[in-house]
Structure formats: C-alpha cells, structure tokens
Amino acid sequence: MAESILEVKDLSVYYGVIQALKGISFHVDKGEIVALIGANGAGKTTTLHTLSGLLKAYSGEIKYKGQELTKIPNHKIVSLGMAQVPEGRRVFAQMSVLQNLKMGAYTRSDKNEMEATLANIYKRFPRLEERKNQLAGTLSGGEQQMLAMGRALMSHPDLILMDEPSMGLSPIFVNEIFSIIEDVNKDGVTVLLVEQNAKKALSIANRAYVLETGSISKEGDAKELLNDEAIRKAYLGE
C-alpha cells in the first residue's frame, strides 16, 4: 500500500451556524494527483482553506505526514511542506513578480537553495522571468495563475493544494496549466486539485472524490469516475 501524505477524518467546518463540511474523510497518497470535484458551494474551497488553517475545523482530524494540523496556526503550515495556490490566484498585485515569488519562499532561510528553486521556476515559467520586475497586478489572468503556482512552489512543498487553477482562463491557458500540474507532479510533488472543470481534472488525476453539499458522495479511480454515467450527467455536462 502506498504511503499516505494527507489523511482527513470526519472533518466538520461551520460558517456561523451553517455547516459547510459534514464530516468528510479522504486521503492523499504520496506522489498522487487527487481531484476534488463538485458543484459551486459543495465545500471544495472550504476544505482547502481548512487544510491550510485559514478556517478552523469544528471537529475531525487532519493528519499531514502524521502530524495533526488542526491545532497549528496557519502561518506555520507552509514550512511543514504544504503550500496552497488559492482560488482567484490572490497574487500581491502591488508587488513585482519577483517580490511575489520571494514571498513564496518567506519561510526558507537558505539563500542558495532559494536561488536554485527560483531558477527552476523560471525554467518552468519563462514568462515570469521576462516579467520579473513588472507589478503582478498588470499580468494577464493566465500569467497570474502561473505566478500563483510559482509562488507556491517557491516554498519547495511536498504537497500542493490547487484551488480552481483553470478558472477564468482561455482554453489555451487551461491546457497549459494542466500540463504544468502534471509536470510538477512528475517532479515529485503530490497534488490535491480542486476543480470545476471536472473533465480535465479527472483526466490527469489518479483518484478523485466527489463533494456534494458538504459530504463526499463518491470516490474512486479517476478514469472510472470519468466513465461513470451519473458523474458524466452531473459534472461533465453530457
């Protein structure tokens, strides 16, 4: 059996009195791409925000590399090796591309290692190097997505959480972003992918979970889910 890097058990989260997550359990194995699909409001972003500590869990556990995360303050999580590419990219618009990337490495202290990571990221995203002195707010949506990914990779994560990376992008960029996700994964980074573009997500993922109004309604091999009649109807628009 593969070694699991993330193990979520009976996780419940509330927004005030509304229960956004109703005791979900799932796991991510080392080296996998796991997709979390579902309609708007199903709780996908809530799940990622709770993993990163931006939202507090009401009950349940989140074990990352065996360590319980629910009691750890959010700013300490990235240095454990878990980074997030947030929904809507959330780049620092008034800072330059390079400054944004350096913020991604905020918790790292070794300058040489950081420079090496930066060189790698420039190799993967040549456009970021071309625009390194430009303010992030002036980049196109696709470029901002690349920056958000590069920024998360600057922390040298073992697990990367991606929230709707294809949202609002042109079809060409969507394909590019998904092939980059596959490349990042091939380099050894485990990926938990939240996507509304279920077809694309399932086509690159190993396994997937379907989230429906705060509960996991289906899980399994991504290719099998891609051929599942009910899934095709509900999420692939067929």
For the sheet with 18-29, list strands across it.
18-29, 4-15, 59-64, 67-68
120-142 core/surface letters (b: 16 or more CB in 10 A; e: else): ebbebbebbbebeeebbeebeeb
Q: How far is the CB of 127 from another protein (least distance, A)?
A: 21
Q: Which is nearer to another protein, 76 or 233 (CB)?
A: 76
Site string for another protein, 136-175 (x = CB under 8 A): -x-------------xx--x--------------------
Which strand (E) or helix (H) includes residue 151? helix 141-153
Residue 223 CB, shortest distance to another protein, in Å, is: 32
Long-range contacts of 114-122 (CB under 8 A, 24+ apart): 114/154, 117/153, 117/154, 117/156, 118/154, 120/153, 121/150, 121/153, 121/154
Token pair listed for 170 = 């042109």
Distance CA 165, CA 153 (A): 14
Q: Does 54 bind another protein (CB under 8 A)?
A: yes
Write the binding mask 91 to 130 for another protein: x where contact by CB under 8 A, - elsewhere: xxxxx---x--xxx-xx-----------------------
Instruction: Quote the least distance from Cβ 9 to another protein, whole Å.
Output: 23
Q: Determine if 53 is a binding residue for another protein (CB under 8 A).
A: yes
Q: Which of these segments, 25-33, 49-57, 119-127, 208-216, binds another protein (CB under 8 A)?
A: 49-57
Chain residues binding another protein by CB under 8 A are 52-54, 73-79, 83-84, 86, 88, 90-95, 99, 102-104, 106-107, 137, 151-152, 155
